[in-house]
Every structure is written in structure tokens, then in C-alpha cells.
Structure 1
């Protein structure tokens, strides 16, 4: 099965660590990163899609971050 996640966080090192952690757990970058202003919080936010191939069957109850 192919799994998909969209990682997001404020534009701080937290975002880079989140993506780095996913890459080290076998996830691969998918597409370009995004960068947008969050007017409610007054900060810039980053986003990056990642995908991973995994054996088994997909279930909406899966915790994708634990895969």
C-alpha cells in the first residue's frame, strides 16, 4: 500500500526536524514544500507532503505517523 501524510508546522526548526524524522523513518518527499502566512497566529507556516510504501492493507484507523 502507499501511505500519504502532509506535515506542517510554524516556520521554525521544528518543521525541519519533523520532516527529517519522517525521512529517517522511510518516508519520501512528495512534491514541493509549501509556505503560507497564518493570519490567525501571525506567523509563516511550512508544509511538505511525504509518501511511503508499506506491506499490508490500508485502514482509516491507522496512525500514519507510527508507520
Structure 2
């Protein structure tokens, strides 16, 4: 089964580290990254979808980042 996550963060190196950590844990990029301006905070935000195949049934209670 395949699980999905959307990683988000301000446009800083923290976003790149978050995505790199997911890739190191076996997650795979899904689609293109996205950027949007958060007018309330005055910062750019980034997003990247990632997917991963797992051998467990899906449960809404599972911690996706721990997979």
C-alpha cells in the first residue's frame, strides 16, 4: 500500500532538510514542489508531496512521518 505526505515549511534550508530527511527514510517525490506567499506572515512557503510503499494496512491513527 502507498501512503502520502505533504511536507511544508517556510522557504529556508529547513524545508530542504525536511525533504532530504524524508528521501533518506525511503519516501519518494510525488509531483513538483510548490511555493506560495503567506501574506499574513510575509514569507514564502514551500510544499512537496512525497509517497512511500509500506507493508502495513492504512490507519488514520498512524504517524506518517514515523513510517
* TM-score (structure 1 length as normaliser): 0.99
Query: Corresponding residue for 2:21?
Result: 21
Computed over aligned residues only, the root mean square deviation of the Cα atoms, in angstroms, reads: 0.3
Helix, strand or coil for the counterpart of 2:40? coil
* TM-score (structure 2 length as normaliser): 0.99
How many residues are treated as equivalent by the alignment? 67
Runs of 4 or more consecutive aligned structure 1 residues displaced over 4 Å after TM superposition: none
Structure 2 unmatched runs, 5+ = none
Structure 1 unmatched runs, 5+ = none
